[in-house]
Structure 1
Amino acid sequence: MIPEESRFEEDPVELVPDPPGLPADWSVDSPDPADRADVERLTTLLRAHERHGRGWAGASVDDVLVEVSERGLRTRQNVVVRDADGLIRAWGSVHDRAGGRMLFVHVVERDLPARTADACSDVLVEWAVGQARAVGEARGLEVQQIDTGAFEGDERQARWLTEGGFAKVRTWWQMSRPVTAEEASLVPDPALWERKGVRFRQVRRAGGGMPDDEDLRDVHDVLEEAFLDHFNSWEETFDEFLHRLREDPGHRWDHWWLAELLDGADDGAAPQAVGALVGTVSESADGPDGSYVSYIGVREAARGRGVAKGLLRTIIADAAGRDRDRVGLEVDADSSTGADGLYTSMGWVTTYVTESWHRDVPVAPADQA
């Protein structure tokens, strides 16, 4: 259930009353989503962070607004460090993702002097720990996980996270596959096709273009079951799942697919939803757009029947039909499922690598635990 009000502490000064090590005329504040200068500055910081970490920037103003807009603040909260002129030099964002799991964005300007940059990082981490306690207490938890990330090879970020009590727990391959126009015929019709007793289709759309609620629940249920035994899987309610994915700037309802087993259909049995893929649009400022596989999952009972491969062929054909030039996805480099073998066999290659870093925060302060 999405809360009516945020579970976070809204005033950053309550969590960081005496910012450690900052210049005397610097301050800790919240960004103003209505201030164009603030939003553009956050975008600049995020893009510089990406460019340093992987060689190019992909973030846009829309990505920043997901974090800071009034609509997003029911499940998110933000903090910034400003210099004496009010310019934002560091940014932290937390997301109440699911019970027990809080995501944390940690961005510090690349060109700051080392001592000042370290102080900014300390502020962001102290604030995030305070937010973890706040949201954990609101959810009735004993321990709240903070989940953050870094680009592989970013030694500064890795040092800060280590000093902040985080541990590297996972590595992720960020993969991409080129798409050619001819691949539009890879499947008969991305909207609906069948192969060997499995039907692949987009989620149904009702009047007004909104998706069928039952189909959306099937997507959620399939993914929850498919990821049950995966690394760091946390139960996410249907409302949380839907709210979060609709916030994505690349969200499109016609990029959601279901795979259904048709066993027994001749005898009147209803098709059984066994696979799901949620795709998004990866917009490009200087070239063709791409598609992205945000989620793909197959129920255990249906594995080995070509469901995952069929869903991937579907989004490739869909991307080709939309004149896109690539399809991206993320895979757990440490997983034993062998998913990376399927992806590489279908043409995906790793373009860069990211890391997950976690810290478990006791909800009660140490002197009360």
Structure 2
Amino acid sequence: MWLGTSKGLYLFNAANGSFKRFTHAANGTNSIANDFIYQVTEDNNGWLWVGTDDGLYHFNPQNGKFIGYVHDPANQNSIGASWVKAVYKDSKGNIWAGTHGGGLALYNSKNNSFINFKHDPNNSNSICHNDILSILENSDGKLWIGTENGGISVLDYPANKFTCYKFDANDHHSLSSNSVYCLYKDDTGNTWIGTYSGGVDFLPGFGDKFSSYSQNPNNPNSLSNNNVLAISGDDSDENIWIGTDGGGLNLFNRKKKTFVHYLHSDNNSNTISNNYVMAIVPINKDVIGIGYHIGGFDLFDKKREPLYITCPRQIIRVASPFQISTICIKTVTAIYG
């Protein structure tokens, strides 16, 4: 299991609780330039793509070496910006990078360059905003791009045309917020959208009208917090896991339309590490991995009630007080060093 943190890239061995850390090395040409990692994804060759605030990196886990890609103003084929917040592999194996300020970038493996998609105010078919937070391929092959303050852009590739979805105060079926921090597609093709300040939006697989779930102070079974940073599915079609910025972990039951809240308690070591959940990843049918802002990560058994932490706290919180921005599940056959 790979953990992208504010202090580098960690490889965690859940079997024995050990870690191996990969960080910036002074005068090291094969290391990352900055240890703050936003997202990690695996390509079809078993290498990792790592998004940082100082470049996109291609990491070979067999020898521990990084190849870096940064923005070069003199080269239009370089990545659009060096601050990379989202990295995604589509069903065809293409690697996409969402940047802060430089739009969306598609890696061209044939010539080791990038095709950039940036907002053009004079082109209604361009991407709606250049600050990218999340990426998801939908069932029809189109790419959904969540932006910061620009709503969602849906890319029809290779036609290279974008369709924008934004918040509209006069339309209660529009997006609930224009800041889209996470996107999730469930097994039946529905799309779940985590927004900042707008809660969770739901778009059915066959439809174009959004429905929203938000915090209701008068309903204890509603969403605990409207700032949603992570969404993941469950082995059951009924449940969706939701991580919030200050409201802990939520379990949404689709049939009952209710939320169960999991919150940190200083008096109970078997609760989540803190209430700022940045990443949720299923480890297997029983265990979920959770990454936190300033709180390391947890592994817990979702089949047991109350919440049951599966590893000793001194092991699973070894990265604390670092931020865990992303979790990538991968089988590793050999590691350098």
Report the TM-score, using the length of structure 1 for normalisation: 0.27
Report the TM-score, using the length of structure 2 for normalisation: 0.29
Larger radius of gyration: 1
RCO higher in 1 or 2 (8 Å CA, sep ≥ 6)?
1
Identify, as 1 or 2, the structure richer in helix.
1
Identify, as 1 or 2, the structure richer in strand.
2
